[in-house]
């Protein structure tokens, strides 16, 4: 029988191999940051470290943005967990998390466990602060969007449909999503960290606009 540490180490290698060429903002280092952050939160919130670590490592493997076939991806995760002998009870907890946080169907779903809350918070924390800013600009550049376009109205009440069809920019994404995330944190520990990252983003934009206008 493998122990939990060995299962985690093997899973890290397995995930790393699959995300090696990922360019949509969910590369291996995103997974690694989310996992590290989730462990910090899990310690503070007394969540199960094995379940949190495994779910964090696997949370984007079956994401609908990354793969064509969710069912196939879920099966491959199942085969992987079987192969390293993760128990059916543990697998159920891990699947519950990755399905409720990374799927379209799971969006808005109430999270049942503290472990799920912690992983979702860690994933959301990675979208804000200095890293979140860098990811937004990287994403925009890759999609051919401007870093900023002052001719686009900033509307924080845009629907997802309008937003998908309309023009946007990296700076607009702050209003569309990033500034909303701090109020969506589940745990007190994540709220505290989100508050700091939120302030940093506000300061960043103030400076950005100052330089944009010419000082």
Q: Residue numbers of the site for ligand ADP (CB under 6 A)?
A: 25, 65, 123, 127, 132, 135-136, 139-140, 168, 170, 173, 177
As measured in angstroms, the least distance from the Cβ of 136 to ligand ADP is 4
As measured in angstroms, the least distance from the Cβ of 132 to ligand ADP is 6
4 binds, among Ni ion, ligand ADP, none (CB under 5 to 8 A by kind): none
Asked if 70 contacts 103 with a C-beta cutoff of 8 angstroms, the reply is yes
25 binds, among ligand ADP, Ni ion, none (CB under 5 to 8 A by kind): ligand ADP
168 binds, among Ni ion, ligand ADP, none (CB under 5 to 8 A by kind): ligand ADP
As measured in angstroms, the least distance from the Cβ of 198 to ligand ADP is 14
List interacting residues with Ni ion (CB under 5 A): 60, 123
175 binds, among Ni ion, ligand ADP, none (CB under 5 to 8 A by kind): none
Tokens of 40: 């910090």
Give the separation between CA 36 and CA 30, rounded to whole angstroms.
10
65 binds, among Ni ion, ligand ADP, none (CB under 5 to 8 A by kind): ligand ADP
Give the separation between CA 175 and CA 153, rounded to whole angstroms.
11
**Could you tell me the CA-to-CA distances from 30 to 39, 52, 125, 192 in Å, in that order?**
14, 15, 11, 21
7 vs 190 by CB, closer to ligand ADP: 190
For 69, how many CA atoms within 13 A lie in the half-sphere containing its CB? 6
Asked if 129 contacts 200 with a C-beta cutoff of 8 angstroms, the reply is yes
Helix (H) or strand (E) holding 53: helix 49-58
Closest CB to Ni ion: residue number: 123
93 vs 136 by CB, closer to ligand ADP: 136
93 vs 172 by CB, closer to ligand ADP: 172
28 vs 163 by CB, closer to Ni ion: 28
Phi-psi region of 2 (alpha: psi -120 to 50; beta: other; left: phi over 0): beta
45 vs 60 by CB, closer to Ni ion: 60
Residue at token pair 């943005």: 65
User: How far, in whole angstroms, is CA 99 from its chain's centroid?
Assistant: 13
């Amino acid at each position: 029988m493998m122990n939990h540490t060995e299962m985690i180490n093997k899973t890290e290698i397995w995930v790393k191999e699959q995300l090696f060429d990922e360019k949509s903002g969910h590369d291996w280092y995103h997974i690694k940051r989310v996992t590290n952050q989730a462990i910090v939160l899990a310690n503070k919130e007394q969540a199960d470290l094995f379940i949190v670590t495994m779910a964090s490592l696997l949370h984007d493997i079956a994401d609908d943005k990354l793969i064509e076939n969710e069912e196939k991806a879920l099966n491959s995760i199942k085969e992987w967990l079987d192969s390293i002998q993760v128990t059916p009870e543990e697998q159920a907890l891990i699947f519950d998390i990755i399905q409720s946080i990374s799927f379209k169907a799971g969006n808005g779903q109430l999270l049942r466990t503290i472990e799920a809350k912690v992983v979702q918070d860690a994933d959301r924390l990675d979208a804000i602060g200095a890293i979140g800013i860098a990811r937004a600009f990287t994403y925009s550049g890759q999609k051919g969007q401007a870093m900023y376009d002052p001719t686009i109205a900033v509307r924080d009440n845009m629907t997802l449909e309008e937003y998908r069809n309309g023009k946007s920019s990296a700076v607009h994404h702050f209003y569309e999503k990033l500034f909303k995330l701090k109020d969506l944190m589940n745990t007190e520990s994540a709220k505290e960290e989100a508050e700091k990252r939120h302030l940093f983003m506000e300061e960043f934009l103030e400076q950005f606009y100052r330089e944009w206008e010419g000082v």
